[in-house]
Structure 1
Amino acid sequence: MRSLIIPLLFLAMPLAEIAAFIFVGREVGVGMTLLLVLGSAIAGAVLLRIQGLGVLRRIQQASQTGTDPGRQLVHGVMIVIAAFLLIIPGFISDIIGLLLFIPAVRDLGWSLVKSRLTIMTTGMAAGGRGFSRGPKPDHDASRRGGPQVIDLDDDEFSRTDDRGRSDPNERDRLK
Protein backbone atom coordinates (compact mmCIF):
# COMPACT_ATOMS: atom_id res chain seq x y z
CA MET A 1 0.00 0.00 0.00
CA ARG A 2 2.85 2.34 0.84
CA SER A 3 4.38 1.91 -2.62
CA LEU A 4 1.16 3.15 -4.27
CA ILE A 5 1.25 6.56 -2.60
CA ILE A 6 3.99 8.09 -4.75
CA PRO A 7 2.54 7.06 -8.14
CA LEU A 8 -0.89 8.29 -7.06
CA LEU A 9 0.69 11.55 -5.90
CA PHE A 10 2.37 12.00 -9.30
CA LEU A 11 -0.99 11.45 -10.95
CA ALA A 12 -3.00 13.65 -8.59
CA MET A 13 -0.57 16.60 -8.43
CA PRO A 14 -0.90 17.74 -12.07
CA LEU A 15 -4.67 17.34 -11.88
CA ALA A 16 -4.77 19.46 -8.72
CA GLU A 17 -2.53 22.09 -10.37
CA ILE A 18 -4.85 22.28 -13.40
CA ALA A 19 -7.85 22.66 -11.11
CA ALA A 20 -6.04 25.44 -9.22
CA PHE A 21 -5.25 27.23 -12.52
CA ILE A 22 -8.91 27.06 -13.53
CA PHE A 23 -10.08 28.32 -10.14
CA VAL A 24 -7.57 31.21 -9.99
CA GLY A 25 -8.15 32.06 -13.65
CA ARG A 26 -11.89 32.34 -13.03
CA GLU A 27 -11.41 34.54 -9.96
CA VAL A 28 -8.72 36.98 -11.16
CA GLY A 29 -8.60 36.50 -14.92
CA VAL A 30 -6.18 34.90 -17.36
CA GLY A 31 -3.73 37.82 -17.55
CA MET A 32 -3.38 38.12 -13.80
CA THR A 33 -3.00 34.33 -13.47
CA LEU A 34 -0.12 34.37 -15.95
CA LEU A 35 1.49 37.29 -14.08
CA LEU A 36 1.22 35.34 -10.81
CA VAL A 37 2.91 32.32 -12.38
CA LEU A 38 5.69 34.49 -13.84
CA GLY A 39 6.10 36.34 -10.54
CA SER A 40 6.43 33.12 -8.57
CA ALA A 41 9.14 31.89 -10.95
CA ILE A 42 11.11 35.12 -10.53
CA ALA A 43 10.60 35.01 -6.76
CA GLY A 44 11.91 31.44 -6.69
CA ALA A 45 15.07 32.39 -8.53
CA VAL A 46 15.67 35.42 -6.29
CA LEU A 47 15.00 33.51 -3.06
CA LEU A 48 17.29 30.70 -4.19
CA ARG A 49 20.09 33.18 -4.72
CA ILE A 50 19.59 35.02 -1.42
CA GLN A 51 18.92 32.10 0.90
CA GLY A 52 21.17 29.69 -0.98
CA LEU A 53 24.21 31.93 -0.54
CA GLY A 54 23.38 32.25 3.16
CA VAL A 55 23.24 28.48 3.58
CA LEU A 56 26.53 28.07 1.68
CA ARG A 57 28.12 30.58 4.05
CA ARG A 58 26.82 28.68 7.10
CA ILE A 59 28.06 25.34 5.69
CA GLN A 60 31.51 26.87 5.20
CA GLN A 61 31.52 28.24 8.76
CA ALA A 62 30.47 24.85 10.15
CA SER A 63 33.26 23.14 8.22
CA GLN A 64 35.85 25.65 9.43
CA THR A 65 34.83 25.31 13.08
CA GLY A 66 34.65 21.52 12.87
CA THR A 67 30.97 21.28 13.74
CA ASP A 68 28.48 19.02 11.99
CA PRO A 69 27.24 20.67 8.75
CA GLY A 70 24.46 18.08 8.26
CA ARG A 71 21.65 20.43 9.27
CA GLN A 72 22.88 23.15 6.91
CA LEU A 73 23.27 20.65 4.05
CA VAL A 74 19.68 19.47 4.49
CA HIS A 75 18.52 23.10 4.63
CA GLY A 76 20.39 23.74 1.38
CA VAL A 77 18.70 20.81 -0.33
CA MET A 78 15.31 21.99 0.88
CA ILE A 79 15.98 25.49 -0.46
CA VAL A 80 16.87 24.09 -3.88
CA ILE A 81 13.67 22.00 -3.86
CA ALA A 82 11.66 25.05 -2.76
CA ALA A 83 13.10 27.18 -5.57
CA PHE A 84 12.39 24.42 -8.09
CA LEU A 85 8.78 24.21 -6.87
CA LEU A 86 8.42 27.99 -7.25
CA ILE A 87 9.97 28.07 -10.71
CA ILE A 88 7.74 25.38 -12.21
CA PRO A 89 4.22 26.65 -12.96
CA GLY A 90 1.53 25.79 -10.46
CA PHE A 91 -0.09 27.33 -7.43
CA ILE A 92 -0.03 24.27 -5.16
CA SER A 93 3.67 23.71 -5.82
CA ASP A 94 4.22 27.44 -5.15
CA ILE A 95 2.59 27.13 -1.74
CA ILE A 96 4.74 24.12 -0.86
CA GLY A 97 7.83 25.95 -2.15
CA LEU A 98 7.07 29.06 -0.10
CA LEU A 99 6.60 26.91 3.00
CA LEU A 100 10.02 25.32 2.45
CA PHE A 101 11.64 28.76 2.44
CA ILE A 102 10.51 29.26 6.06
CA PRO A 103 13.35 28.19 8.41
CA ALA A 104 10.95 26.70 10.99
CA VAL A 105 9.50 24.37 8.34
CA ARG A 106 13.00 23.36 7.26
CA ASP A 107 13.90 22.65 10.90
CA LEU A 108 10.84 20.41 11.13
CA GLY A 109 12.04 18.59 8.00
CA TRP A 110 15.53 18.29 9.52
CA SER A 111 14.11 16.78 12.71
CA LEU A 112 12.29 14.16 10.61
CA VAL A 113 15.35 13.32 8.51
CA LYS A 114 18.28 13.51 10.94
CA SER A 115 17.66 10.11 12.52
CA ARG A 116 17.90 8.49 9.07
CA LEU A 117 21.20 10.12 8.08
CA THR A 118 24.71 8.94 8.76
CA ILE A 119 27.39 11.59 8.71
CA MET A 120 30.94 10.41 8.23
CA THR A 121 33.66 12.57 9.71
CA THR A 122 37.21 12.61 8.44
CA GLY A 123 40.44 13.83 9.88
CA MET A 124 39.57 13.01 13.49
CA ALA A 125 42.72 13.03 15.58
CA ALA A 126 43.20 13.52 19.27
CA GLY A 127 42.18 17.11 19.82
CA GLY A 128 41.65 17.61 16.08
CA ARG A 129 38.66 19.03 14.29
CA GLY A 130 35.90 16.81 12.98
CA PHE A 131 36.00 17.93 9.36
CA SER A 132 39.08 18.59 7.27
CA ARG A 133 39.51 20.51 4.05
CA GLY A 134 41.14 17.57 2.33
CA PRO A 135 44.28 15.49 2.46
CA LYS A 136 47.51 17.27 3.18
CA PRO A 137 50.22 16.75 0.58
CA ASP A 138 52.61 14.01 1.65
CA HIS A 139 55.73 13.77 -0.45
CA ASP A 140 57.38 10.95 1.54
CA ALA A 141 55.42 7.76 0.85
CA SER A 142 57.47 5.71 3.33
CA ARG A 143 55.95 7.58 6.28
CA ARG A 144 52.39 6.61 5.35
CA GLY A 145 50.75 3.94 7.44
CA GLY A 146 48.38 2.78 4.70
CA PRO A 147 48.91 0.22 1.96
CA GLN A 148 51.30 1.06 -0.83
CA VAL A 149 50.42 0.65 -4.49
CA ILE A 150 52.67 -1.51 -6.62
CA ASP A 151 52.10 -1.27 -10.36
CA LEU A 152 52.59 -4.56 -12.24
CA ASP A 153 52.04 -5.60 -15.83
CA ASP A 154 49.88 -8.61 -16.73
CA ASP A 155 52.85 -10.93 -17.16
CA GLU A 156 54.39 -9.96 -13.80
CA PHE A 157 51.73 -11.52 -11.53
CA SER A 158 49.31 -14.42 -11.23
CA ARG A 159 46.24 -14.86 -9.04
CA THR A 160 46.30 -17.70 -6.50
CA ASP A 161 44.02 -18.75 -3.67
CA ASP A 162 45.08 -19.23 -0.02
CA ARG A 163 46.63 -22.65 -0.73
CA GLY A 164 48.80 -21.46 -3.61
CA ARG A 165 46.58 -22.83 -6.37
CA SER A 166 45.75 -20.60 -9.34
CA ASP A 167 42.17 -19.64 -10.11
CA PRO A 168 40.71 -22.26 -12.52
CA ASN A 169 38.24 -19.72 -13.94
CA GLU A 170 40.96 -17.34 -15.07
CA ARG A 171 42.91 -17.79 -18.27
CA ASP A 172 46.60 -18.48 -17.96
CA ARG A 173 48.17 -15.12 -18.67
CA LEU A 174 51.75 -16.33 -18.58
CA LYS A 175 51.54 -18.48 -21.73
Structure 2
Amino acid sequence: MMQNSNVLFKQITHGVYVIAVANGSEQNAFTAAWVMQVSFDPPIIAFSINPEHYSYQLLKASGVCTVNVLGQDHLAIAAHFGQSGVKEKMTTYRWQAGKTAAPVLSASLAYFDCKLSHFTDAGDHKIAVCEVIAAAELNSGWPLLYGQTGNMDGSSEYYKD
Protein backbone atom coordinates (compact mmCIF):
# COMPACT_ATOMS: atom_id res chain seq x y z
CA MET A 1 0.00 0.00 0.00
CA MET A 2 1.45 3.40 -0.99
CA GLN A 3 0.71 6.49 1.08
CA ASN A 4 0.32 9.96 -0.35
CA SER A 5 3.89 11.25 -0.86
CA ASN A 6 2.89 14.74 0.36
CA VAL A 7 2.22 13.29 3.82
CA LEU A 8 5.67 11.74 3.87
CA PHE A 9 7.50 14.97 2.88
CA LYS A 10 7.37 16.08 6.55
CA GLN A 11 9.63 13.08 7.31
CA ILE A 12 12.50 14.50 5.20
CA THR A 13 14.85 16.14 7.66
CA HIS A 14 16.16 19.63 6.97
CA GLY A 15 16.89 22.80 8.87
CA VAL A 16 15.23 26.20 8.98
CA TYR A 17 16.99 29.28 7.66
CA VAL A 18 16.51 32.97 7.03
CA ILE A 19 17.60 33.95 3.54
CA ALA A 20 18.45 37.67 3.41
CA VAL A 21 18.81 39.62 0.19
CA ALA A 22 19.80 43.16 -0.68
CA ASN A 23 19.90 45.32 -3.77
CA GLY A 24 21.48 48.61 -2.81
CA SER A 25 19.44 50.01 0.08
CA GLU A 26 16.51 47.63 -0.55
CA GLN A 27 16.57 44.60 1.76
CA ASN A 28 14.28 41.71 2.58
CA ALA A 29 14.43 38.28 4.19
CA PHE A 30 12.34 35.13 4.21
CA THR A 31 12.21 31.83 6.04
CA ALA A 32 13.34 28.80 4.06
CA ALA A 33 13.58 25.11 4.82
CA TRP A 34 14.52 23.82 1.37
CA VAL A 35 18.29 24.50 1.54
CA MET A 36 21.18 22.15 0.81
CA GLN A 37 24.88 21.99 0.09
CA VAL A 38 25.52 20.83 -3.48
CA SER A 39 29.32 21.08 -3.87
CA PHE A 40 32.52 21.09 -1.81
CA ASP A 41 34.79 22.67 -4.42
CA PRO A 42 33.75 25.32 -5.01
CA PRO A 43 31.42 25.50 -1.99
CA ILE A 44 27.89 25.79 -3.39
CA ILE A 45 24.48 26.01 -1.69
CA ALA A 46 21.08 25.72 -3.35
CA PHE A 47 17.71 26.83 -2.01
CA SER A 48 14.14 27.10 -3.17
CA ILE A 49 12.55 30.53 -3.63
CA ASN A 50 9.08 31.60 -4.72
CA PRO A 51 9.41 33.77 -7.87
CA GLU A 52 6.27 35.69 -6.86
CA HIS A 53 7.95 37.11 -3.74
CA TYR A 54 9.78 40.42 -3.36
CA SER A 55 12.97 38.65 -2.19
CA TYR A 56 13.23 36.87 -5.53
CA GLN A 57 13.20 40.21 -7.38
CA LEU A 58 15.96 41.58 -5.12
CA LEU A 59 18.08 38.44 -5.49
CA LYS A 60 17.64 38.45 -9.24
CA ALA A 61 18.71 42.13 -9.42
CA SER A 62 21.67 41.99 -7.03
CA GLY A 63 22.91 38.42 -7.25
CA VAL A 64 23.84 38.27 -3.53
CA CYS A 65 22.29 36.78 -0.40
CA THR A 66 23.03 35.21 2.94
CA VAL A 67 21.78 31.90 4.28
CA ASN A 68 21.41 32.29 8.06
CA VAL A 69 21.11 29.13 10.18
CA LEU A 70 18.40 29.36 12.86
CA GLY A 71 18.74 27.73 16.29
CA GLN A 72 16.14 25.73 18.19
CA ASP A 73 15.24 28.84 20.21
CA HIS A 74 14.53 30.86 17.03
CA LEU A 75 10.97 29.74 16.28
CA ALA A 76 9.73 33.36 16.64
CA ILE A 77 12.36 34.52 14.12
CA ALA A 78 11.29 31.80 11.67
CA ALA A 79 7.64 32.82 12.08
CA HIS A 80 8.44 36.53 11.64
CA PHE A 81 10.34 36.08 8.38
CA GLY A 82 7.84 33.50 7.14
CA GLN A 83 5.16 36.20 6.84
CA SER A 84 4.49 37.82 3.46
CA GLY A 85 3.71 41.47 2.89
CA VAL A 86 5.14 42.79 6.19
CA LYS A 87 6.50 46.32 5.87
CA GLU A 88 9.77 47.07 7.66
CA LYS A 89 10.32 43.33 8.21
CA MET A 90 14.07 43.87 8.65
CA THR A 91 13.86 46.40 11.52
CA THR A 92 12.79 43.87 14.18
CA TYR A 93 16.20 42.14 14.37
CA ARG A 94 19.87 43.18 14.35
CA TRP A 95 21.86 42.79 11.13
CA GLN A 96 25.44 43.19 9.98
CA ALA A 97 26.82 43.44 6.46
CA GLY A 98 28.37 40.37 4.91
CA LYS A 99 31.31 40.40 2.49
CA THR A 100 28.87 40.72 -0.44
CA ALA A 101 26.96 43.49 1.43
CA ALA A 102 23.97 41.16 1.86
CA PRO A 103 22.55 41.32 5.41
CA VAL A 104 23.70 38.79 8.03
CA LEU A 105 21.28 38.02 10.88
CA SER A 106 23.31 38.63 14.05
CA ALA A 107 21.22 36.17 16.11
CA SER A 108 21.83 33.25 13.73
CA LEU A 109 24.00 30.28 14.64
CA ALA A 110 26.02 30.64 11.45
CA TYR A 111 25.76 32.24 8.05
CA PHE A 112 26.84 31.65 4.47
CA ASP A 113 27.43 34.77 2.38
CA CYS A 114 26.68 33.89 -1.24
CA LYS A 115 26.90 35.05 -4.82
CA LEU A 116 24.14 33.79 -7.13
CA SER A 117 25.34 31.47 -9.89
CA HIS A 118 21.99 30.75 -11.57
CA PHE A 119 18.34 29.83 -11.16
CA THR A 120 16.65 26.67 -12.33
CA ASP A 121 12.92 26.00 -12.61
CA ALA A 122 11.35 23.67 -10.04
CA GLY A 123 7.54 23.53 -10.19
CA ASP A 124 6.03 26.59 -8.53
CA HIS A 125 9.46 27.68 -7.20
CA LYS A 126 12.92 28.45 -8.54
CA ILE A 127 16.11 26.85 -7.27
CA ALA A 128 18.80 29.44 -6.58
CA VAL A 129 22.29 27.96 -6.92
CA CYS A 130 24.83 30.11 -5.06
CA GLU A 131 28.58 30.04 -4.51
CA VAL A 132 29.60 30.59 -0.89
CA ILE A 133 31.97 33.58 -0.69
CA ALA A 134 32.31 33.72 3.12
CA ALA A 135 30.90 31.87 6.13
CA ALA A 136 31.19 32.03 9.90
CA GLU A 137 29.75 30.72 13.14
CA LEU A 138 28.13 33.54 15.14
CA ASN A 139 26.45 31.80 18.08
CA SER A 140 26.41 28.34 19.61
CA GLY A 141 23.39 26.08 19.76
CA TRP A 142 21.50 23.36 17.93
CA PRO A 143 19.89 24.05 14.54
CA LEU A 144 16.11 24.33 14.28
CA LEU A 145 14.62 21.52 12.19
CA TYR A 146 11.65 21.96 9.87
CA GLY A 147 9.73 19.16 11.60
CA GLN A 148 9.92 21.18 14.85
CA THR A 149 7.99 24.13 13.37
CA GLY A 150 4.59 22.38 13.29
CA ASN A 151 2.20 24.05 10.86
CA MET A 152 3.88 27.47 11.08
CA ASP A 153 4.10 27.68 7.28
CA GLY A 154 0.54 26.49 6.65
CA SER A 155 1.83 23.47 4.74
CA SER A 156 -0.63 21.06 6.34
CA GLU A 157 -3.04 21.76 3.49
CA TYR A 158 -0.51 20.03 1.19
CA TYR A 159 -0.02 17.07 3.53
CA LYS A 160 -3.53 15.61 3.34
CA ASP A 161 -4.20 12.08 2.20
TM over 0.5: no
TM-score (norm 2): 0.22
Greater Rg by CA: 1
TM-score calculated relative to the size of structure 1? 0.21
- Using CA pairs below 8 Å that are at least 6 residues apart, which structure has the higher relative contact order? 2
Higher fraction of helix: 1
Q: Higher strand fraction: Structure 1 or Structure 2?
A: 2
